[in-house]
Amino acid sequence: MEFIRNKRLLALIGIIALILGTMLPYFTFSSFFGTSQSISLWGYWEGKVILTLTIANALFIFNDYIEKYIPQLFKTNIGRKIANVTNPKMSLIPTILVVGVVIYLNTQFNFNSKYLKNGLGFYLLWIGIIFLIAHAVIYKKPIESQAKVSQGYNYQPVDSQQNYQQPIQNNMPQSIQNGLGNKKFCPNCGNEVDETATQCFRCGNKF
């Protein structure tokens, strides 16, 4: 159950079902002479409205993925507003409008007649509606952990002097590292002196 709550699988199934519902036969008409004809919503305004609302649903639900691969869609004012939608229940708006269109279709045809039967598209539309409503109700966007923590970074305090000096010394040849010992160099003339010296014996510069 938690997997479904944190994923958009229900929404994906619902959108696919709505698209197929407009393309596959919505009803089958049988004539008195025994011939039959299947009609889909693809070529009618009702089907175009459902497809438009389905696309709107996809933009609301999968706006992050679509913006990643097709950023041009979100360069307009409306596109930017859609990209900022984070509430999954916003997808209920186009879904409810789809329900209205489907109910309108049912009032226009008498499916109880022996000459008119529901097709596969009819059932797919209702399946898509149910899945999209279920997604809007139960979907819970997962809380994103901090990027640095999720990537496994382990921050530990280090000595600033060691962090500054150690890489420089490690890049030196071993023979030079061994010869350094407790030595330092005069910043004025570059003469090598003991680490505890407070004055260069060559130029007299004081540290």
For 19-41, what is each residue's pLDDT tens digit? Answer: 999 999 988 877 766 678 888 99
Find tokens 């649903």 and name the residue.
57
d(CA 89, CA 81): 15
What pLDDT, on a 0 to 100 scale, did the predictor assign at position 161?
Answer: 45
Four-point Cα dihedral 7, 12, 14, 15, nearest 10? 150
What pLDDT, on a 0 to 100 scale, did the predictor assign at position 126?
Answer: 94
Q: How are beta strands 183-185 and 192-194 bridged, if at all?
A: antiparallel
Contacts of 8 (CB under 8 A, 6+ apart): 61, 62, 135, 139
d(CA 113, CA 70): 46
What pLDDT, on a 0 to 100 scale, did the predictor assign at position 1?
Answer: 61
What pLDDT, on a 0 to 100 scale, did the predictor assign at position 108?
Answer: 78
What pLDDT, on a 0 to 100 scale, did the predictor assign at position 20?
Answer: 96
What pLDDT, on a 0 to 100 scale, did the predictor assign at position 149?
Answer: 35
3 state DSSP class of 35: coil
> And the tokens for 96?
């409810």
Four-point Cα dihedral 103, 108, 109, 110, nearest 10? 90
Residues of the chain with pLDDT below 50 are 144-170, 172, 174-178, 180
